Structure 1
Amino acid sequence: MNMLALFMAGTLLAATPMAAAAQGVASAAPAVDAETARLNAWLNAKYEAQMAASPMARSYAGEKKDYDKIDDMSEAAAARQLERMRLEVEELKANFDRAKLTQDAQLSYDLWIYQYEEAAALAKFNRNAYVFQQMYGPHTRMPQFLMQVHRVDEPSDMDAYVARIGGIARALSQQLEIAKLNAAAGSRVPRFSYEMMIPQAKALNSGAPFGGEGDNAVWKDANAKIDGLVKAGKIDAAGAEAYRAAAKTALIEQWKPVYDQLIAWFESELPLADAVATGVGKNPGGKAFYDMMLRSSTTTDLTAEQVHRIGLDEVARIKGEMEAIKQKVGFKGSLQDFFKFVREDAQFYYPDTDAGRQQYLDDATRYVAFMKARLPEYFGILPKADIVVKRVEPYREIPGAAQHYYFSTPDGSRPGVFYSHLSDMRAVPKPQVEVITYHEALPGHHMNFAISRELTDIPEFRKYLYINAFQEGWGLYSEKFAKEIGAYKDPYSDFGRLTTEIWRAIRLVVDTGLHAKGWTEDQAVGYFTDNSPAAIGQIQSEVKRYIIMPGQATGYKIGMIQMEKLRRKAEAALGGKFDIRGYHDTVIGRAQMPLDVLEQQVDIWIAKQKAR
């Protein structure tokens, strides 16, 4: 999986002809079945060739092939990959007749082309990208990969772990080279981002074996994995000491120098970076870059002005629903007064103690269990992999940063993880825990990602395709759907649900405000605060996120609006024949796709239901 797809996925596909698509997933014609089988074999072979260039993607998928390697993250490698994709699309069009494929195979055909067209469009803006930033920069993402994804079950896995320490050092050097070029071209993150990245990098470059108090996070992880091999009887004490020595050498001689370079560069950038943060529109080529990112995030042709207007309208609508809850609980005062009450009253926060943090984790786990018990009534396809709730590791924890999901493996051996930043307990209000659990875990991100990866009847590349508006739209749809099946019994919890929905509507206003209208960070925080009861720590962290990830935050509400519209369309067309399990399986049962293509899939399902 291309890691940049986490922030940059999605553009419109050419519409699939409905007459051809109506033949359905399977066909009785042997020639069509044979052509589909040939296409799937070709796609899997090409995907395997892509995976050969990304050993990290193999590891994310749970494989151990090329387990000692880290991706080549140079610009030259990216250019080679794009050219390979271009040639593959030419080969696809020359060797397969799309009309002779099943409907699902036509979807695969189109999505393969979509991948290339998306990558080619984004490549035009390479100099506009923020390589290092405080949210998902490679300086924290790469160590997380080593510690969370690289399993050590055998001594050979530990050999690979040590080798990957050096591979990460090389990859970070490559990313630093690109970041310097981009900064020189005028794409430099604001000062706050450097100020947040410096302590992140220092935390990964201090403690044993480097010096300072405590153990470095990677050193601690390496020792734990070595101890696991000893406990399993795979190595003896002498073998353990040899591995400790090898890991220590790699960390001191390879890891530390590159983190020293990163820290020095971040510090040198501080006086050059904007103290008053705003969006990318001020950067050279920034307006065109943002237009591209907006199309990418929403998979629509909506303009920044249109997205801004949708956001304003949604904020007004949701505030009406909030007003109704304010009246229901008997609060006397304005909605702004109610916002202040929910934002500031101590009853809405966990204690800022270890016990308070554990209570948060226990509550989120309880909501996962509630949803897990209800899922079979509303979904025909369920994930095999489990989902667990964890606190973000100390080395990458950011006060107020957003909770997030981390992938399970296709075989379920590694569960999905719902991660929360808990260093600032005022940034995780009690009324929002339930709704965010449904978004990140079940039936939200875990449901979507795990089902996609566990499918056995689609080409491999589709299992790992990430499309922002689809994935995040589903997460937000899941939040609201949970209310239909008995969640949010406490009115303040339901208010928390509306808080997160208006949060996503506010994103449409703030993201376009920052990047297309020249808003400053303070203006964005002000609008957010005026229209939401979210904790101030949340708001400040969120706005910082939007500034360094242009467009990404707009996919949530746009995707949700489309999924709700398609459901209403299906309910109106089918009446008593409408089956909620069938609708949900249609939406998330064939992996991710752009929103216009999703509409085509729902139309096909409606036609089949009518014909039954």
Structure 2
Amino acid sequence: MTRIFRRAAPKRNSSYFARTMFNSLCLASIATLSLGAAPAKAAPAATGPAASGAVTETARLNAWLDAKYDEELGFSPIARSFQGDKTDQARIDDLSESASDRRLAWLRKSVMQLKAGFDRTQLSPDGRLSYDLWVYSYEEAARAARFKRNVFVFDQLFGAHTRLAQVLIAAHKVDEPADMDAYVTRIGGIRRGLLQQLDIAKRNAAAGSRVPRFAYETMIRQARTLVTGAPFTGQGDSAIWTDAQAKVDGLLRAGKIDAATGAIYKATARKALLEEWLPAYQAVIAWFESELPKADAVATGVGKNPNGAAYYAAMLASSTTTTLNADEIHRLGIAEVGRIRQEMEALKAKVGFTGPLRDFFKYLREDDRFYYPDTDEGRQAYIEAATGHIAFIRQQLPRYFGILPKAGVTVQRVEAYREIPGGPQEYQMPAADGSRPGVFYIHLADMRAMPIPQLEVVTYHEALPGHHMNYAIAQELRGVPRFRRFLSINAYQEGWGLYSEKLAKEMGAYQDPYSDFGRLTTEMWRAIRLVLDTGLHAKGWTEEQAIAYFLANSPLTEAQIRSEVRRYIVMPGQATGYKIGMIRIEQLRQKAQAKLGARFDIRGFHDVVLGGGQLPLDLLERRVDEWITESCRAGKAAGSRGC
């Protein structure tokens, strides 16, 4: 088996960079899902005094880490809300730079306490994994702090101007009157948080780190949408006013308040929106508008920015959890593009298309048969089709997984205030208490940017057997410290998402050859990302050069491609984790199959990959290797041959 990766050294945890934009927001992929079954058991572990001591010491470590995680959550009431925890629900995180510095100092101290209080050699294998991951988080945070002036605080996809609104609309639960009191208080907190983020953005822009003009244009529209409609100016109700009224009405229907109290709550919320929310958004919009003439009209990557090359190298290391450099990743991407083109040629011939591949791409982009109508009925048909594919895969899961999620996953259109034509689909995790399911969010503003051949594969990536599995299983693990249930590691989660697209084919999906071509399209998409991300940020490519390469090698629509390329520009390095993570998971599966032979169990392999929570790729390999060793030991003990 050819290995294309080197182990990262020192160890790095991509959770920090995945959370950089929300370092104080702490929105980074937080939610929870229930488990249907316990993780598949490996072969019996060693017994005796030493093993018993390791179990005891690991239990002590887990208790210590849980206490530390509770302390860490004290920095982020927002994180608690996304987990379904109402503790400090009236508060918004301190989003200032000084607060980020205090959190880093706390992490540094916690690692010193960890090393002083525990002997790593006396822990169980899983205890050592927890120990390493905690150190990992600090090392990543410390390294990232060196590049704080390089970060884009606001962008068109994950900026604080839209994500803070999501805290109230999507995460803040209102079951009792006190929850509505907290909601109104939080409106003022959002003002403070937005202005703190704006202060950091101004410093970073002054240092030479500002998003391109297209991002400011989109962000201005997004922010204006959040202050348009009642109780502000404009027609209809704003998204936040609609949400506030709905939550008060929910208390009324539940009999928790009377009509007079409901009217008071609505008046109080309206006052807070006009006096707190509106001025903050006006300040943000004014700054976006002042930045617009200074921003690059010809967009490219961060390599040109002060310290940009070092920043991009750090982002690659974080996003891939390997030491592959930009040139190596670029070459890997070109090789993968060539390989997938050959598979596309074969499938093109299978459907009877006789022209060149570029003409087939054009046919897929332009023929009406491959699109739902750009109407409300067409959008609903898209959502229903995605829901049907989820139902099909759910029936197949027990043959491939021992660990199954209980909570459901729904399909929803992205909220209007943050929807982007051709924008990337996304997954939001369920709440810990089961009050909110997982959500597969779809941008449906432009149905010509949503080809039917790609519908099936994107659904598998975002829902089942993709992100709903990898997040849900991690976040309901028992017997591991809680912080591991909420880690977000780019190469792992996106590598799993891409691996699951191909796994779905093993599970019987893609019966329509055009949907199978859609699967190849999205794999090509991720291979192209390796070329474009490194091209933009390390080789000086422009947005238009990147779009031209994408169009030449993919049937994605130009609207999709432009949105994708703009995503890569504002999120340097992130797009490289998909293909690199997928290849590593496939390599680990091949290794296990080769070592275990007839003893290889696909359910056991998937449970090992998913059953430890999200991990950097080198630690994932260590976990799989331990499973292989234990499986061999069990086989020999039972008199089986092999290994």
Normalising by the smaller structure, the TM-score range is over 0.9
> How many angstroms apart in 2 are the aligned matches of 1:46 and 1:518?
43
Q: Find the partner of 1:149 among 149, 166, 171.
A: 171
Q: Please name the residue that 2:344 is paired with.
A: 322
**Residue type of the alignment partner of 1:79:** D
**Contact map agreement 1:404 1:418 (CA 8 A) in 2:** yes
**Cα deviation digits, residues 544-603 of structure 1 (max 9, x gap):** 000000000000000000000100110111110000000000001110010011011111
User: Which runs of structure 1 show a deviation greater than 4 angstroms over 4 or more consecutive aligned residues?
Assistant: 1-4, 6-9, 21-28
> How many angstroms apart in 1 are the aligned matches of 2:63 and 2:571?
36
**Residue type of the alignment partner of 1:602:** V
**Cα deviation digits, residues 121-143 of structure 1 (max 9, x gap):** 11100000000000110100110
Q: Relative CO higher for 1 or 2, CA cutoff 8 Å, sep ≥ 6? A: 2
> How many angstroms apart in 1 are the aligned matches of 2:585 and 2:18?
21
**Residue type of the alignment partner of 2:18:** A
**Contact map agreement 1:499 1:532 (CA 8 A) in 2:** yes
> How many angstroms apart in 2 are the aligned matches of 1:131 and 1:588?
31
RMSD, aligned CA = 1.6
**Cα deviation digits, residues 276-316 of structure 1 (max 9, x gap):** 00000000000000000000000000010000001000000
Q: Find the partner of 1:5 among 18, 31, 47.
A: 18
- How far apart are residue 536 of structure 1 and its match? 0.8
> How many angstroms apart in 1 are the aligned matches of 2:126 and 2:316?
28
> How many angstroms apart in 1 are the aligned matches of 2:80 and 2:281?
26
**Residue type of the alignment partner of 1:453:** Q
> How many angstroms apart in 1 are the aligned matches of 2:19 and 2:98?
21
> How many angstroms apart in 2 are the aligned matches of 1:3 and 1:601?
22
1:142 and 1:4, CA in 2 relative to 1: closer, same or farther beyond 3 A? farther
**Contact map agreement 2:17 2:319 (CA 8 A) in 1:** no
Q: Please name the residue that 2:127 is paired with.
A: 105
Is 2:518 the counterpart of 1:496? yes
Listed as ranges, the gaps of 5+ residues in structure 1 are: 10-20
| TM-score for both structures, normalised by structure 1 | 0.96
Q: Please name the residue that 1:12 is paired with.
A: none
> How many angstroms apart in 1 are the aligned matches of 2:223 and 2:48?
55
**Contact map agreement 2:312 2:572 (CA 8 A) in 1:** yes
**Contact map agreement 2:449 2:557 (CA 8 A) in 1:** yes
Q: Please name the residue that 1:171 is paired with.
A: 193
- How far apart are residue 24 of structure 1 and its match? 5.3
> How many angstroms apart in 2 are the aligned matches of 1:2 and 1:222?
32
Q: Judge which range, 455-464 or 549-558, deviates more.
A: 455-464
**Contact map agreement 1:440 1:475 (CA 8 A) in 2:** yes
Q: Please name the residue that 2:527 is paired with.
A: 505
Q: Find the partner of 1:449 among 441, 461, 471.
A: 471
Q: Please name the residue that 2:441 is paired with.
A: 419
- How far apart are residue 3 of structure 1 and its match? 8.2
Q: Please name the residue that 2:372 is paired with.
A: 350
**Residue type of the alignment partner of 1:477:** Y
Q: Please name the residue that 2:330 is paired with.
A: 308
- How far apart are residue 22 of structure 1 and its match? 11
> How many angstroms apart in 2 are the aligned matches of 1:30 and 1:579?
29
Secondary structure of the 2:211 match is coil
Q: Please name the residue that 2:148 is paired with.
A: 126
Is 2:117 the counterpart of 1:95? yes
Q: Please name the residue that 1:527 is paired with.
A: 549
> How many angstroms apart in 1 are the aligned matches of 2:366 and 2:381?
20
- How far apart are residue 346 of structure 1 and its match? 0.8
**Residue type of the alignment partner of 1:275:** A
**Contact map agreement 1:339 1:532 (CA 8 A) in 2:** yes
Q: Please name the residue that 1:17 is paired with.
A: none
Q: Please name the residue that 1:70 is paired with.
A: 92
**Contact map agreement 2:333 2:529 (CA 8 A) in 1:** yes
Is 2:623 the counterpart of 1:610? no
> How many angstroms apart in 2 are the aligned matches of 1:35 and 1:337?
63
> How many angstroms apart in 2 are the aligned matches of 1:424 and 1:410?
33
Q: Please name the residue that 2:27 is paired with.
A: none
Is 2:257 the counterpart of 1:244? no
- How far apart are residue 8 of structure 1 and its match? 7.9
Q: Please name the residue that 2:5 is paired with.
A: none
> How many angstroms apart in 2 are the aligned matches of 1:245 and 1:22?
62
Q: Please name the residue that 1:258 is paired with.
A: 280
1:8 and 1:195, CA in 2 relative to 1: closer, same or farther beyond 3 A? closer
**Contact map agreement 1:7 1:468 (CA 8 A) in 2:** no
Secondary structure of the 1:212 match is strand
**Contact map agreement 1:409 1:450 (CA 8 A) in 2:** no
Secondary structure of the 2:488 match is coil
Q: Please name the residue that 2:383 is paired with.
A: 361
- How far apart are residue 31 of structure 1 and its match? 2.1
> How many angstroms apart in 2 are the aligned matches of 1:235 and 1:122?
47
Secondary structure of the 2:627 match is helix
**Contact map agreement 1:25 1:104 (CA 8 A) in 2:** no
1:26 and 1:37, CA in 2 relative to 1: closer, same or farther beyond 3 A? farther
| TM-score for both structures, normalised by structure 2 | 0.92
Q: Please name the residue that 2:503 is paired with.
A: 481
**Cα deviation digits, residues 39-69 of structure 1 (max 9, x gap):** 1111011110111111111111111110101
- How far apart are residue 410 of structure 1 and its match? 2.6
**Residue type of the alignment partner of 1:170:** R
Q: Please name the residue that 1:220 is paired with.
A: 242
**Contact map agreement 2:17 2:144 (CA 8 A) in 1:** no
1:351 and 1:6, CA in 2 relative to 1: closer, same or farther beyond 3 A? farther
- How far apart are residue 25 of structure 1 and its match? 9.6
Q: Find the partner of 1:186 among 196, 204, 208.
A: 208
Identity value in percent: 63
Q: Please name the residue that 1:84 is paired with.
A: 106
**Contact map agreement 1:24 1:104 (CA 8 A) in 2:** no
Q: Find the partner of 1:234 among 235, 242, 256.
A: 256
Residue pairs, 1:333-344, within 5 angstroms: 333-344=355-366
**Residue type of the alignment partner of 1:163:** T
- How far apart are residue 5 of structure 1 and its match? 2.6
Secondary structure of the 1:419 match is strand
Secondary structure of the 2:255 match is coil
> How many angstroms apart in 2 are the aligned matches of 1:405 and 1:123?
28
Q: Please name the residue that 2:580 is paired with.
A: 558
> How many angstroms apart in 2 are the aligned matches of 1:149 and 1:438?
25
Is 2:43 the counterpart of 1:30? no
Q: Find the partner of 2:425 among 403, 419, 422.
A: 403
- How far apart are residue 412 of structure 1 and its match? 2.4
**Residue type of the alignment partner of 2:269:** A
Q: Please name the residue that 2:639 is paired with.
A: none
**Contact map agreement 1:514 1:547 (CA 8 A) in 2:** yes
1:382 and 1:79, CA in 2 relative to 1: closer, same or farther beyond 3 A? same
> How many angstroms apart in 2 are the aligned matches of 1:40 and 1:584?
24
**Contact map agreement 2:17 2:315 (CA 8 A) in 1:** no
Listed as ranges, the gaps of 5+ residues in structure 2 are: 1-13, 23-41, 635-643
- How far apart are residue 459 of structure 1 and its match? 0.5
**Cα deviation digits, residues 50-103 of structure 1 (max 9, x gap):** 111111111111111101010000000000000110011011001100111111
Q: Please name the residue that 1:13 is paired with.
A: none
**Residue type of the alignment partner of 1:151:** K
Secondary structure of the 1:315 match is helix
**Residue type of the alignment partner of 1:362:** E
- How far apart are residue 385 of structure 1 and its match? 1.5
Q: Find the partner of 1:381 among 403, 411, 417.
A: 403
Q: Please name the residue that 2:6 is paired with.
A: none
Is 2:76 the counterpart of 1:54? yes
**Contact map agreement 2:84 2:431 (CA 8 A) in 1:** yes
Q: Please name the residue that 1:14 is paired with.
A: none
**Contact map agreement 2:168 2:183 (CA 8 A) in 1:** yes
How many residues matched? 601
**Contact map agreement 1:7 1:549 (CA 8 A) in 2:** no
1:22 and 1:74, CA in 2 relative to 1: closer, same or farther beyond 3 A? farther
Q: Please name the residue that 1:161 is paired with.
A: 183
**Cα deviation digits, residues 482-503 of structure 1 (max 9, x gap):** 0011100000000000000000
